[in-house]
Amino acid sequence: MVAAEPAVKIAVRDLTIRYGARAVLEGVSLEVRAKEVFGIIGPANSGKTSFLRALNRMDSFAPSMKVEGQILFNGRDVRAWRNLYSLRRRIGVVFPLPVGLPLTIYDNVALAPRLAGVRKKEDLDVIVERCLMRAALWDEVKDRLDSLGSLLSGGQQQRLTIARALSQEPELLLLDEFSIAVDPVTTMRIEDVLKDLKNEITIIMVTNLVQQARRLADRMAFFLGGECVEVGEKEDLFAGKVKDPRTTAYMEGRFG
Amino acid sequence: MFAPTSLNARNRRTQKLVKLLFLLMTLLLVLPVLMILGVLVARGGPMLSVEFLLTQPTKGMTAGGIFPALIGTVWLVAVALLVSVPVGVAAAVYLSEYAPENWLTRTINLAIINLAGVPSIVHALFGVGAFVLFFGFGTSILAASLTLAIMTLPVVIVATREALQAVPKAFREACWNMGATRWQTIRRVVLPNSISGILTGIILEVSRTAGETAPIMFTGAAFFLPFLPQSVFDQTMAMSLHLFVISTQVPGVPEGLPYGVALVLVLMVLAMNALSIGFRMWLRGRKKW
């Protein structure tokens, strides 16, 4: 990566997201530091997913989604980015439901490097093996790389999705409730992978599981009804040092 | 667990009745097909022979074979496909993958539906005006095939668009999120997974094109020609028009002849449909998600 990486990876200022006339997120301002795991917790409909979608300009897929305010990625407004493809190449995304593309396992992981212009078989082999290894999937699939990725089990497909996201060599990884369709053992394996990754890339993780945020996050935000109620160090939040008592109430499971 | 109540029994009776009704309607649908085929085979079957397929009509079309018409239909269908497939598939890809949701797209979609609803005789007159006269192709295979192409474009477009739409949106978003452009996504993920539906649509179009009479009557199909077409600027005989002609325009045709021609035409179309069904089954066997 570039030697002088900015300390602030993502700076969001006064972000408002609307679908049609309905605002799902209003006036959110926060910063995500480079190479930290930033957890976002909050009940359903709190705007967590919309927040992630705005970061890599997924609003351009949905005509009704309107984004106002500023999102700076490495200090540059994502909406001033002329080449959206190069922006998205730097940001890996993993969704709640795994998407194994109907390609072979090998081609799933080799897709992004190929799009970026890697042609040599040897280079692709190295990338595929490394990404599958890091996503804790290599041992299970190394003998059948040419079978279809979409025929793997749910948990395996989710790890394939993560391997694919890693194959982009992203600077930023967005995870949206990645463990919702995955069994607990696989979840723990993926969490181990994320712990390894966090020294190398920035991770923003939306999760419904407060304990998962506790295990992985450095800092956390609490979203509620389209509002960012709280941002702080994980230790502080779990120690009860909060600005808004609703944060503690949610984390202790008293509502949500 | 629970004793059957009278309500339960009544529900079951209704269920049986409804099912029977639907079954009857389905059988009603099959009946005409079987009757048509039965009559054609019974009366036209004896006409069929290699000689019938491969020789010229003789004695003022009251005897002999159908070779020029058979070849003519192949010409017409081939040239029509050459035009309508690239245009139709490209248009469908645009409408499904690129077009923004606005009044222009809605207008185009409406136009396609309307194009499908235009009677074929109107297409024929359009073909005379546009291709025969305005573009100066004369009455020729080119003019007739272009007319057929325009007429069957909606079939190709709608079938292709539906095949594309059947590919889950999640696949596209996953690709876009990796930084793939629209075209890269279409080429690597969308098209390979919709090709079976697209080909099915094309084969349906073939069978429709082969059977049409009105659009080619004024634009390129001839009453009788003693020779085969040499280029797309020649006129040609065609199966459908030949059937019309010997059934209504020529005196003294033996009774079996029109049935023989009709049987060959129907068999051509059925063969195409069977091909499409077989192909679809083969591809479904290797469906990837």
Residue from B173, B175, B178, B188 whose CB has the most chain A CBs within 10 Å, to mutate: B178
Shortest CB distance from A89 goes to which of B173, B178, B192?
A: B178
Asked whether the predicted pLDDT for residue B38 surpasses 90, the reply is yes
Q: How far apart are CA A31 and CA A17, in angstroms?
A: 17
Yes or no, beta carbons of A88 and B100 under 8 Å apart: no
Whole-number pLDDT of residue B92: 95
pLDDT for residue B272 = 84
Instruction: Please report, rounded to a whole number, the percentage of residues in chain B having pLDDT higher than 90.
Output: 44
pLDDT beyond 60 at B289: no
Q: Which of residues 156-195 of B touch A (CB under 8 A)?
A: 170-171, 173-181, 184, 188-189, 192-193
Q: What is the DSSP letter of B95?
A: I
Quick check: B117 pLDDT over 50?
yes
Residue among A148, A140, A213 at smallest CA distance from A175: A213
Asked whether the predicted pLDDT for residue B2 surpasses 80, the reply is no
pLDDT at A106: 92
Question: Quick check: B223 contacting A, CB < 8 Å?
Answer: no
Kind of pairing between the strands at A65-73 and A76-77: antiparallel
- Strand, coil or helix: what is B122? helix
At residue A190, the pLDDT reads 86
Are A150 and B181 an interchain contact pair (Cβ–Cβ within 8 Å)? no
Asked whether the beta carbons of residue B174 and residue A168 sit closer than 8 angstroms, the reply is no
Domain B65-285 bears CATH identifier 1.10.3720.10: yes
**Long-range CB contacts for residues A21-29, cutoff 8 Å, separation at least 24:** A23/A226, A24/A50, A24/A226, A25/A50, A25/A51, A25/A54, A25/A223, A25/A226, A25/A227, A26/A226, A26/A227, A27/A69, A27/A227, A28/A69, A28/A223, A28/A227, A28/A228, A29/A228
Q: Which of A58, A111, A148 minimises the CB distance to B288?
A: A148
Q: Under an 8 A CB cutoff, do A101 and B189 touch?
A: yes
| 71-100 of A, contacting B, C-beta below 8 A | 85-89, 91-93, 95, 97, 99-100
Q: How confident is the model at residue B79 (pLDDT cuts 50, 70, 90)?
A: very high
A167 SS3 class: helix
Q: Residues with Cβ < 8 Å from A159, sequence gap 6 or more?
A: A135, A136, A137, A186, A189, A190
What is the structure's pLDDT at A105? 92
Q: What is the predicted ipTM?
A: 0.85
Chain A environment of B189 (Cβ under 8 Å): 101-103
CA angle A247–A251–A253, rounded 5-degree value: 120
**pLDDT tens sequence across A126-170:** 999 999 988 888 988 989 898 888 888 888 888 899 999 999 999
B255 reaches A (C-beta below 8 A): no
Average pLDDT of the segment spanning B222-247: 86
Can you give the pTM of this predicted structure? Answer: 0.82
Alpha carbon separation from B287 to A151, A190, B193, B199 (Å, rounded): 10, 29, 8, 15
Residue B286 has pLDDT above 70, yes or no: no
What SS3 state is found at A2? coil
pLDDT for position A24? 92
Q: Measured between CB atoms, which of A88, A101, A148 is closest to B179?
A: A88
Q: How far apart are CA A59 and CA A4, in angstroms?
A: 30
Cβ atoms of A230 and A221 closer than 8 Å: yes
- Amino acid at the residue B119: P
pLDDT of residue A1: 44
Q: What share of chain A is helix, strand, coil (3-state, %, to 5)?
A: 40, 25, 35
The closest CB to that of A112, out of B171, B178, B192, belongs to: B178
E strand or H helix that includes residue B231: none
What is the share, in percent, of chain B residues with pLDDT greater than 70? 97
Minimum mean pLDDT range among A222-236, B43-57, B69-83, B105-119: B43-57
Quote helix, strand, coil % in chain B, to nearest 5. Answer: 75, 0, 25
In angstroms, the CA A55 to CA A73 distance is 8
Domain positions in chain B are 65-285
Residues of A in contact with B180 (CB under 8 A): 85, 111-112, 115
- Label residue B284 exposed, middle or buried (CB < 10 Å: 0-12, 13-18, 19+): exposed
Summary count for chain A: helices (H), strands (E): 10, 10
CB-CB contact of B245 with B61 (8 Å): yes
Per DSSP, A232 falls in state: E
Cross-chain residue pair B174–A164, CB shorter than 8 Å: yes
Residue B248 corresponds to which tokens in the numbers above? 């209504």
Give the distance, in angstroms, between the CA of residue B97 and the centroid of all CA atoms in the same chain: 25
CB B242 within 8 A of CB B268: no
Q: Give the residue ranges of chain A where pLDDT is below 70.
A: 1-5, 256
